[in-house]
Structure 1
Amino acid sequence: MNLSRITLIGCAVFAVVSGIGLRAEHSETAKETKPVNVLDISEPHVVSKAERRAKTLLAKAVIHVQKEGDDSVKDFMSDPEYIDGELYVFALGIDGQFLASGGSSMVLVGDSVLDTQDVYGNPFFREMITKAVHNGFGEVKYHWTNPTDRMGEPKTTFFERVGDVIVAVGYYPERSSAAEAKNLLARAMTAIVESEQESLAEFNDADGSFVEGDLYVFVMDMSSGKLLAHGVSPELVGRSHSEILSPDDKPILTEMLNLAKENGRGVYTYRWLNPQSSKVETKHTYYRVIDNKLVGVGYYTKSNNT
């Protein structure tokens, strides 16, 4: 075999290997940029003041039953010590008998609630009992009639088992208004003007002053399309708009970015996870552009949750 033929074969082999390498590299790049549903990479939860109050009240009630015995649950119906504003304590037996309540559910006292359902047919008391028997404590989420507006609202109840009694306190996740979202956005814009670096750090602090209930700030670079800040989902920071889909698999960040490039400011409606209720709800985000950055704050409205 002469030298020229060896050279040709070598070049051919190199070309094939190089082609395989390029295809592999391209394949890896494609994998890295494939859009992902946000629910697969982020499950944000913000501990609200109401949640903290509910847990504190529950702890006090549990200690009371531990010290005074099962019959002391009747104190939950009359002692103001076990009522905190709209929050109250209730108790039921592991057999499903409803024992006491300091709130509107007192109408259930004496009844079996094993088959009681929420407004969507969820037997949440039965779920609570099952978890209490197996784990001793936990939480359940359901839709219950809110006494303030008589509507079926998402409610979260924390509970703990004490012997044969389940002690519980529930709360309705707070829902911010459009005006509150606008005010937080205005504060965020002012903070960026004062110090961009410091403001981004503050926006990314889940325990900071720019997370208010279900409101938080997010910032996206207009050129790269990457998130620079996200108040409740730090795992999204650094990801591109093209990588993230909404819970209903829509490229909402891409659409919002395109609108911002055209208009500079506006409001955009989409489906997103509420960090307070842990439910997918309708979100309305106000956004503005400053220094080539999209800054947004959104609020949630009542809708059928998934």
Structure 2
Amino acid sequence: MKQAYLTLFLSILVLSLLLAAGCTDREPASVPATPTPPGPTGTAAPPAVGYPETSQDIRDYVDHAAVWAIEHGRDEAIAAFGNATGPFVTGDVYVYALDYEGIALALPFQPAMVGTDFTPLLDASGKPYTAVEIQLVKSGGGYILYHYPYPADDQPSMQKLSYVRPVDDTYWIGAGIYTSEDRLIDPALRQFLADAKAYAVANGREKALAAFNNLSGPFIDGELYVFAYDYEGTVLSWPHRPDQIGVNRYNVTDPMGIFHIQSFITTAKRGGGVVDYYTTNPFTNATDLKVSWVTDVDGTWLIGAGRYIVPGPLVLRA
């Protein structure tokens, strides 16, 4: 019996010593966890997407650069964005930076133009693209279509679709994809408008306009619908804005100050083509960039249809 009590006593003693020594799976509360060493500073992270091709890609590219710039500060960001061999240049896609007065801060392929006021400059189509960009960034960001030199030896002017956004209250950034008319006006859109014109020619203006203005009719296909104007600028078809039918909009500008109705008329009279402008997207109620194809019908009126440029799978790369 004494031996049994002795064995029990020794077992309890050993267990107590083990617990006191901390021989359990749990680390003592008084010992802090080892912190993860901070990553290196002064090194730019690569863009989130490799080589942007879509409208979603280019927005992601710019958003990633903006987040990095906020984390690393303006001076380091401007230096990184201005480096033609740095991590914010991917092929012919690169981040550029300007302040809200339109002064260039970072242009990796045009370093001699850093410090230049870009607000008076017009692209090949006469668009004051930097002035438009500043309006976009002041409203949170958006897409712009314009012509800009390609980053090659001779730097020819090419069509480019960029996304711009603010970094902070002192400067903003953008990046774009060089694109082409065939990417912006896809075969489905061309066919949609060709069918609408054929219907108008075959059935006459009155019947055609009734069909175009019918939201349940054959000329509503997702975001595609037919708008129509006479050559005085009077609205003939706008299915999502029936209150505007019969209104003359010749001198109306889009939110960026562009006379887009006059551009419709000029473009249609010379045989048809692309017109880009900003308008209310009836599916989101946001003001978005829209790229439309317009064409003459019979010499007295025009029709058009287009797509809203929003983040998505639209492939822009030519």
TM-score normalised by structure 2 residue count: 0.42
More strand by share: 1
More helix by share: 1
TM-score normalised by structure 1 residue count: 0.43
